[in-house]
Amino acid sequence: MRRYHLFIIYTLIAALLAWNLYLQFGKKSGNPQGEEVLVQSAEGEKFTISIPEAKVRIFEIPEKLTFADEPVPLEQTDVMERFEREIYVNVYWQSNMILLMKRAGKYLPTIEKILRDQGVPDDFKYLAMTESGLMNVVSPAGARGFWQIMPGTAKDYKLEISDDVDERYHLEKSTLVACKYLKTAYSKFGNWTSVAASYNIGITGIRKRKEEQNQSNYYNLFLVEETSRYLFRILAFKEIFENPGKYGFELSEKDIYKQPLFRELKVTQSINSLANWAILHNSTYKELKIHNPWLRSQKLKISRNQDYIIKLPIN
């Protein structure tokens, strides 16, 4: 047993020495497989340990980049650095990016279709990723859902918020509201880059900064850090999603999450127990809540001349 312990100790010491040698000389060797070191055990047995090459990579930044077909001035040093920052932050937060790529398979087809139908550039799907990671999150300020819609905005655009229902969690309805906002902002600014920035700081906020600094271009504005980074987060998601292999993400089709096929049930009368209602329709309360997150309580009160569509998976 003692000899075995000595063998383990010697092996660990040899590995540490080998790693130190690699840090000093490994990169100069040009060996893509890493540094190989000969180790001898207490019993005289010899074997080779291969120290793998460091995995951190420096990425080549694209020469040209656009948002909604509007050019990004990467020739400006600060613009390039701000974009590069978001690339590295997101690429090397691998767990988050992998799950986002998997999750995107469930929700992007719906978002892309609505953007297309509403005449909003496809790149705005990356704004939704930036806002929420395609999850129904709640901000400290009270914004909710994929598009992080505030209560006042929901009211302005006729989204229902009640004890039983919060349509900010309704993917289709909230995406339509986001499109309406984006098109309203475009009518004021005339370019989609300013529109995207306004989603973070507000239409009035961007207009005020432009007037204060006598600049019309977003990239020439000096902004607080959150708004300064906002568009570049969107651009980073776009670049990584359009070139996943370049950044080390090699998901296959089977790795991507998919929505099930749904049946849609029109409901015109109040439901006292959604759990019982789900069972009555050959489903479960869990399935009902997962696929209809806009249902916020255990019941659903329906007023006269009102109806809802509830989606349940086809089993």
Terminus-to-terminus CA distance in the chain, angstroms? 58
pLDDT digits (tens, 9 = 90+) for 119-155: 999 999 999 999 999 999 999 999 999 999 999 999 9
Q: Which residues pair with 300 in a beta bridge?
A: 271
pLDDT digits (tens, 9 = 90+) for 42-51: 566 666 666 5
166's torsion region: left (phi>0), alpha (psi -120 to 50) or beta? beta
Instruction: Quote the tokens at residue 31.
Output: 């060996």
Count of residues for the chain? 315
* Cα(173)–Cα(114) distance, integer angstroms: 10
Secondary structure of residue 67 in the 3-state scheme: strand
Secondary structure of residue 40 in the 3-state scheme: strand
pLDDT value of position 56? 80
Q: Which residues pair with 262 in a beta bridge?
A: 313
pLDDT value of position 27? 45
> Shortest CA distance to 106 belongs to which of 130, 129, 137?
129
pLDDT beneath 70: ranges in the chain: 1-55
Torsion of CA 301, 303, 305, 309, to 10 degrees: -20
Q: What is the pTM of this model?
A: 0.82
**What is 211-249 written as a DSSP string?**
HHHT---GGG----HHHHHHHHHHHHHHHHHHSTGGGT-
At a CB cut-off of 8 Å and minimum separation 6, what does 158 contact?
Answer: none
Contact 39, 49 (CB under 8 A): yes
- The amino acid that residue 41 corresponds to is S
